[in-house]
Structure 1
Amino acid sequence: MHVQEWLDTVPAAAVYAVVALVIGLESLGIPLPGEIVLVSAALMSSQHTGINPVVLGACATAGAVIGDSVGYAIGRKGGRPLLAWLGAKFPRHFSEGHVATAERSFEKWGMWAVFFGRFVALLRIFAGPLAGVLHMPYWKFLIANVLGGICWAGGTTAVVYYVGVVAEGWLKKFSYVGLAVAVAIGLASLLIVKRRAKKAQTAADREAEPVGAGE
């Protein structure tokens, strides 16, 4: 079942909690499709389903910030053994190569890695726990975490919502035009097929005439 189809079965008020929970768990370090869930919910909010895009963006931001902060605390307490354990449980996401790549990003960019990591699927999972493992000062982490969460969650919700509204308005505006064009194309195709069939029949009749005359 597609994510949006599944969300359609959830009461509108509960969608906020689902989005916040999934994004929070992903930010904590559990590989979940947080971005897909957010995009699907934002698109639903543009289709008059009772979901407020402002509340949705706020819940997504809260889930991102809280999840990252919990991930930071776990990483700071668990240290390197935690990364090794995650690598054994989720080798696809926490392999040594992925951890090394994320570490290099943190060492090079610091706070910016936390901020921009929110927009990259792999770093979005790593950011909180790895910042804790590397003992990044929490105040630096918190600033980057909050700003990144607001820009990513709020920005994604706003963009998808307005794109959905514009697309819906465009489709309504041009629905009759599209229908007329579709009918015209259908009629034209039918006429072309009939004309070609008539030509083919005429050519066949002409080829058959000499045979009849010879007999």
Structure 2
Amino acid sequence: MHIEEWLQAIPPGWLCALVALVIGLESLGIPLPGEIVLVSAALLSAKGVVSPVWVGVCASAGAIIGDSIGYMIGRKGGKPLFERLGRRFPKHFGPKHIAKGEHYFHRFGVWAVFVGRFIALLRILAGPLAGALRMPYWKFLVANVLGGIVWACGTTAALFYLGQAADRWLKGFSWVGLAVAVLFGIGTTWFLKRRAASALDEGDLEGVVRGPVDV
């Protein structure tokens, strides 16, 4: 079952709570698909399954609280915490990931917390890493609150209006337009296959690879 279908089967109140929980756990350092859950919930709000306001509020709360808990964990555990996590979960907390996260913090300072909300790697590391690097909590809190609200509410609003626009467009899409789109897709596929076959016959593998980029 697709995640959107699974979420649609959950009552609206529990759905919002789940959004907050998953995003909160991801923000404190547990690698979970927080952004996927938020996107799916926002698209469901465009279908009237759940209120977009509550999706944005719960996602913001989860992001802010989760990052704050992650900050406290990182401040208490320090860098040795990441060394232990790196040995157990090298895919998410390996030395390269931590080094890249520290680079962002040393280069951008408190902005790394704000911008990190929009970057998959930093969304997991931002809170714990800010604590381990002893960033002043008040600076972290301001960036955390602003980043969480902008990311959660902005994503929800954008996908809500985009989903509604797409729904109206599909309802007004005529069968003639659909037929034209299908024929265009078939024609494009046939042309690309002929071009690839011709290039292979001539031994021009580079042309096959470069072709779509040139277009």
TM-score range for the pair, normalised by the shorter chain length: 0.7 to 0.9
Q: SS of 1:48's equivalent?
A: coil
Give the whole-Å Cα distance in 1 for the aligned partners of 2:67 and 2:51. Answer: 24
Q: Give the TM-score taking structure 1 as reference length.
A: 0.81
Structure 1 CA distance for aligned equivalents of residues 180 and 146 of structure 2? 52
**1:129 counterpart residue number:** 128
Identical aligned residues as a percent: 62
Structure 1: runs of 5 or more not aligned: 187-215
1:162 alignment partner in structure 2? 161
Give 1:40 shift. 0.2
- Give matches, 1:34-49, under 5 Å: 34-49=34-49
Rounded to whole Å, the distance in 2 between the matches of 1:130 and 1:181 is 52
Match of 1:91 in 2: 90
User: What residue is the counterpart of 1:10 in the other structure?
Assistant: 10
Aligned ranges for residues 20-39 of structure 1 at < 5 Å? 20-39=20-39
Alpha-carbon deviation of 1:180? Answer: 3.6
In the TM superposition, what is the alpha-carbon distance from 1:3 to its structure 2 partner? Answer: 1.3
Report how far residue 185 of structure 1 moved: 9.3
**Distance in 1 between the 2:70 and 2:145 partners?**
14
Residue 105 of structure 1 aligns to a residue in which SS? helix
Determine the C-alpha separation between the residues in 2 that align with 1:184 and 1:81: 60
- CA separation of 1:182/1:121 partners in 2, compared to 1, >3 Å: closer, same or farther? closer
Q: Distance in 1 between matches of 2:33 and 2:179?
A: 41
Q: Which residue of 1 aligns with 2:150?
A: 151
For 1:71-82, list aligned pairs within 5 A: 71-82=70-81
Taking the aligned partners of 1:4 and 1:18, their CA distance within structure 2 comes to 13
1:104 corresponds in structure 2 to 103
CA distance in 2, matches of 1:22, 1:100: 26
Q: Deviations over 1:52-94 (max 9, x none)?
A: 1011101000000000000000000011121012112221010
Paired residue for 1:209? none
> Shift of the alpha carbon at 1:184?
8.3
Count how many residue pairs are aligned between Structure 1 and Structure 2. Answer: 182
Match of 2:193 in 1: none
Backbone CA RMSD of aligned residues: 1.5
Equivalent residue letter for 1:74 = I
Cα distance in structure 1, aligned partners of 2:38 and 2:172: 28
Select the structure of larger CA radius of gyration.
Answer: 1
Aligned-residue offset at 1:31:
0.3
Superposed CA deviations along residues 182-209 of structure 1, whole A, max 9, x for unmatched, are 56899xxxxxxxxxxxxxxxxxxxxxxx
Distance 1:181 1:161, change over 3 A: closer
Which residue of the partner structure matches residue 196 of structure 1? none
Cα pair distance change 1:184/1:85, threshold 3 Å: closer
After TM superposition, where is structure 1 displaced by more than 3 Å over at least 4 residues in a row? 180-186
